[in-house]
Chains A and B, each alone.
Chain A
Amino acid sequence: MGSQGGWGQSKEFLDLVKSIGEARSKAEEDRIVLREIETLKRRISDPEVPKRKMKEYIIRLVYVEMLGHDASFGYIHAVKMAHDDSLLLKRTGYLAVTLFLDEDHDLIILIVNTIQKDLRSDNYLVVCAALNAVCRLINEETIPAVLPQVVELLAHPKEAVRKKAIMALHRFYQRSAHSVSHLISNFRKRLCDNDPGVMGATLCPLFDLVTGDVSSYKDLVVSFVSILKQVAERRLPKSYDYHQMPAPFIQIRLLKILALLGSGDKKSSESMYTVLGDVFRKGESSSNIGNAVLYECICCVSSIYPNQKLIDAAAEVTSRFLKSDSHNLKYMGIDALGRLIKINPDIAEEHQLAVIDCLEDPDDTLKRKTFELLQKMTKSSNVEVIVDRMIDYMISISDNHYKTEIASRCVELAEQFAPSNQWFIQTMNKVFEHAGDLVNAKVAHNLMRLIAEGFGEEDEGADNQLRSSAVESYLRIMGEPKLPSLFLQVICWVLGEYGTADGKFSASYITGKLCDVAEAHSNDDTVKAYAVTAIMKICAFEISAGRKVELLPECQSLIDELSASHSTDLQQRAYELQAVLGLNSHSVESIMPVDASCEDIEVDKSLSFVNNFVQQSLEKGARPYIPENERSAMLNVNNFRSQDQPGALTHGLRFEAYELAKPPPLVTRTPASFISSTDLVPVPESTYAKEIHQAPLPSPVPDIAPVEPGVKLRLEGVQKKWGRPTYSSPSAPSASTSGIQKTTNGITYGPETMSSQTRAVSYDSKKQHVEVSAEKQKLAASLFGGSSKHDKRPTSSHKAARTRPTSAEKLREATANTATEVTVEKIAPLQPPPDLLDLGGPIPEIAPSVDPFMQLEGLLGPTQGISSESTVSANASKPSDLMETLYAEMPSTGPSGTDMYSSSLNSGVPTNANKSSQMVAQIPSVKKGPNPRDSLQKDAVARQVGVTPTSQNPNLFSDLLG
């Protein structure tokens, strides 16, 4: 027990630690810490404090900060202490500073001087301490201050210093690559260092460098390969062995670098094959570290130019991982499988059961990893099963971060592989409904675009069907409470565009629904904006179809409400709607053409249509336009901005002044954004509208005003050109983009053009995939008798699987006296085998010549085969599984079990049985190097104390410290 007293802390400090240890609640702990902070504040500011005392105070500060309290009042003292001459104090000072300060802290500037001095010290321990601090504290600005010294240290006689200097340079490289770009040759030089530790450390920066620029390091392949060979042949000193493996950490780093260098490079890869084969052969799968090396090997093999022999070896190791009992190895196996199937998708097939097991596993980590794998395995034949599973899981979790991720994965898969429009819409509905607030707005835009454009096939009918099924499902769903805002926006947009397109629903029905939405979400301006625009579109379509539009009373009241809204955007929309209602069918048709959201919008970036106007103005004596970059020098930008800022409201008056001084094209911008309002809105009440009307309209307005879908201003471009921020209030950016919709009847321009590119990409990949899956299906057909899997089959085979094993289970249950729960649990994992068909394709044992018609009759040939087979395998594996579940029951009763253990420890009656079970439960995976664990255990028992007192023994610490 000597360890507490023997290290020279004062009684006071030990008491503090002790009382924290004994604290029963967080509140009590906080009280103690706050008291301690008060004491420290008082004492530390005393100028007479002896240095040794000060050192202890600093350590106490570290302790306080570690417990999550603010110790910033003492930072300056830590900095001072780092400046001390005594190494003892300096080390403490540096430790505290590196723990307290981040590289952006104000005090860094004070410590740089100290570091500079210490890097020059002749005591290598001082240099080491300084280098530790360098790695933590030097930021981009201060790198130049220490860089020359650090580079000098690369040639230091002590290997510990060289190593730390290398790591410091690595850190600099990460902080700002260009500051050390001229030093890269140094890394290459250090690779040949005599000390393996320095060489190993050099691999870290080299890995980063190679990641950044593969091609300039190809010449190092030979060196890396020969180093790896030497390491694998145990040429390094014994002290680098770890659990009988020769320098595994260095091996792993080398493999990582080789994976990068060999990727897509046949020649480099070929020089690696031999050594990789060696590593595979020597890899020990009995120890954890051996598996770590093997896993890295698999990663490397799957990244470099493929070699069949190595891939076979990798596949074999992977299957060993997957078959292992250890969850860790299964996890790694799933990951490895995901890498290997990129090279050869068939590898997955023999592991279908293992994959399904992992998917069903209660361990979330494993489950998520498996989803990742499934995503890579998805093709159009199994997308339904996979996405359904993902969505189920998505609904069940509460971790927002992962929810977002899995939602976007679902969307991605659905977009890529959707087998039918119906399914696609339904899937998207589910995703939006459950994770709508988490998905990226881009996803919603994609969905709108997809509905607008259809699936890209020539078949217009299918697209229409997609739209009407979307409309129907949205009408069904939109009444539900708590729909995410983004989803509602999509719904409103789609209803506006296509609500009345197929004539199934009347305009008044749709507008009624839209009014309900706007009303139910009265505090969400964006949704309201979408809704009112949708209403306008519906009305416009009605008018242009020659039907008379009568607004519902609730609709009218909505418009009235919005015209008095605080949001100018909503106001404008409301006025525009009213304006549209007052127009004749011909002009409405030209403003709002039906289903024109996909029409291309020609953008005249050079604004040639204002040339005429510019010419006129110039002739009248206006000053010529000066590009912004030249202008800023001669014109006070701020002044210019502030004049213009009130923008929308005062522009009408500004036009007069323009003649004198303003650059002419500025004017054209104004009409651009207000085309609709100036031209169309005959509302006399609104002040700003009135002003605009009073204003003499400049000539270009009429030019643009006949709003043909073809000629429109691209607001983005214009804004950029004149260097103006935006017109709309920053709070509603999406609203402002949809404001553009009004004039163009389309989706926003930016995303439109951009996403059509991404879409093209996704089409390409889709095409590719179709080819692959066609190939796979052929293979499946040859093995399976041409069973194509996705439609009704999964469900029927589900049933088959469900009923059959149950009876089998029942029998077993009777004989085996198993608890029913267990059986039920076991059935659940049995269901998936039918999904297997979808997952991986064929199971080779099945006879290929099964009549497809036979398959459709109830219990299908192959399914039967599979289900019985899987029952058998399940049966075979079951006893052991049962054992496991029973066995697992003990530890997994969890806290109580372990509590028992610790309390028995505390009361000093350790029982052997408990101990051993604890041991087994704790670290089952590692068999080697048991010392620390054992000794921790032994030690604990020997001391007969729990480290943290439990309620049974609160006075533990006083006993201990006597």
Chain B
Amino acid sequence: MIHFVLLISRQGKVRLTKWYSPYAQKERLKVIRELSGVILTRGPKLCNFVEWRGYKVVYKRYASLYFCMCIDQDDNELEILEIIHHFVEILDRYFGSVCELDLIFNFHKAYYILDEVLIAGELQESSKKTVARLIAAQDSLVETAKEEASSISNIIAQATK
């Protein structure tokens, strides 16, 4: 299973973290520090895998952003690499050519999407279309909620005038 997902920028800044196994806050910081030290310094031609504390960390770089996932010894690294890519493709479809800024300012959206791709450390849906549909359904509800809110506030505003 996947124990955690990290998105780290090339400067070592954390863009997203999702922990599927229990890690205390202190430990999380240590893990991030340790891994960014290892991964950010690796050359471009080397493996996309790092052995780490008896686990394996699979990472992939997109522009200035590193996507990392920590997995068990007996998992298939190439598959994880593609799960990362799968996630990025969905992000891309959602944001319309995604860039790091999208993720910085809308990290909570990225979390929602991740929750539809992975659950409890396993890939839950391998169809991009299904994920997109579900996210869209949630968003449309959000949109209507927002419209309602603004219309209500308009009404209130007019009423109080």
Interface residues of A (CB under 8 A from B): 3-4, 7-9, 14, 17, 21, 52, 59, 62-63, 65-68, 70, 86-88, 91-92, 95, 98-99, 102-104, 125, 128, 132, 135-136, 159-160, 163-164, 167-168, 170-171, 174, 196-197, 200-201, 204, 237, 239-240, 242-243, 247-250, 252, 288-289, 291-292, 295-296, 299, 327-328, 330-332, 362-366, 368-369, 401-402, 405, 888, 891-892, 894, 898, 902, 921-926, 929, 931-933, 935-940, 943, 945-948
B98 to chain A, nearest CB (A): 6
Across the two chains, which residue of chain A brings its CB closest to B61?
A922
Whether A249 and B83, one on each chain, are in contact in the complex, defined by CB atoms closer than 8 angstroms, is yes
Q: Given A4-B105, A948-B64, does the pair A88, B141 have CB atoms closer than 8 Å?
A: yes
Q: A249-B123, A327-B46, A931-B89 are in contact. List 20 more A-B contacts (CB 8 A).
A: A3-B101, A3-B105, A21-B13, A66-B16, A95-B108, A95-B112, A163-B124, A168-B120, A201-B124, A239-B130, A288-B85, A365-B46, A365-B47, A365-B49, A401-B54, A921-B44, A936-B97, A939-B99, A948-B64, A948-B100
Known: A63-B107, A327-B47. A167 touches B122 (CB 8 A): yes
Query: Looking at the complex, which one of B79, B86, B108 makes contact with A59 (CB distance below 8 Å)?
Result: B108
Q: A66, B82: Cβ atoms under 8 Å? A: no
Cα of A328 to Cα of B58 in the assembled complex, Å: 10
Note all chain B residues with C-beta closer than 8 A to A170.
120, 122
Q: Which of A66, A102, A135, A197 contacts B130 (CB 8 A)?
A: A197
Contact B122 A328 (CB under 8 A): no
Contact (Cβ within 8 A) A160 B134: yes
Min CB–CB distance A421 → chain B (angstroms): 33
Complex contacts, A247 vs chain B, CB 8 Å: 126
Please pick, from A52, A167, A940, the residue contacting B63 in the complex, using a CB distance under 8 A: A940
CA distance A923 to B111 in the complex (A): 25
Q: Please classify the interface of chain A as helix (H, G, I), strand (E, B), loop, or mixed, using the class held by over half of its residues.
A: helix
Confirm or deny: B14 has a beta carbon within 8 angstroms of a beta carbon on chain A.
Answer: yes
Q: Mark B1-45, 1 if CB is under 8 A from A, else 0.
A: 000000001110110111010100100110010000000000111
A295 touches B78 (CB 8 A): yes
Question: Across the interface, do B47 and A935 meet the contact criterion of CB distance under 8 Å?
Answer: no
CB < 8 Å: which of B25, B82, B100 contacts A248?
B82
- How far, in whole Å, are A843 and B78 apart by their CA atoms in the complex? 32
The answer to whether B47 and A948 touch across the interface, beta carbons within 8 angstroms, is no
Q: Name B88's closest neighbour in chain A (CB-CB).
A: A932
Is there an interface contact between A935 and B49, defined as CB atoms closer than 8 Å? no
Q: List residues of B (43-88) whose CB comes within 8 Å of A's CBs.
A: 43-54, 60-65, 76-79, 81-83, 85-86, 88
Q: Tell me, in angstroms, the Cα distance from A116 to B43 when the chains sit together.
A: 49
Give A931 to B91 CA distance when docked, in angstroms.
Answer: 11
Most buried by A among B14, B48, B101, B123: B101
Residue of A whose beta carbon sits closest to that of B22: A102
Which of B28, B106, B125, B137 is close to A197, meaning CB atoms less than 8 Å apart? Answer: B125
- What CA separation (Å) do A63 and B105 show in the bound complex? 10
Contact between B14 and A252, CB atoms less than 8 A apart: no
**Contact, CB under 8 Å: B106 / A7:** yes
Q: B155 at interface (Cβ–Cβ under 8 A)?
A: no
Q: Is the CB of B99 within 8 A of A292?
A: no
A915 to B114, CA, bound (A): 30
Q: Can you list 18 residue pairs at the A/B interface with Cβ under 8 Å? A: A3-B101, A66-B14, A88-B146, A136-B20, A164-B124, A240-B127, A249-B82, A250-B126, A328-B81, A332-B77, A365-B46, A365-B49, A921-B44, A936-B62, A936-B65, A936-B99, A948-B11, A948-B100
Query: Are B106 and A3 in touch, CB under 8 angstroms?
Result: yes
A92 contact set on B, CB distance < 8 A:
108
* B51 and A402 contact, CB distance less than 8 A: yes
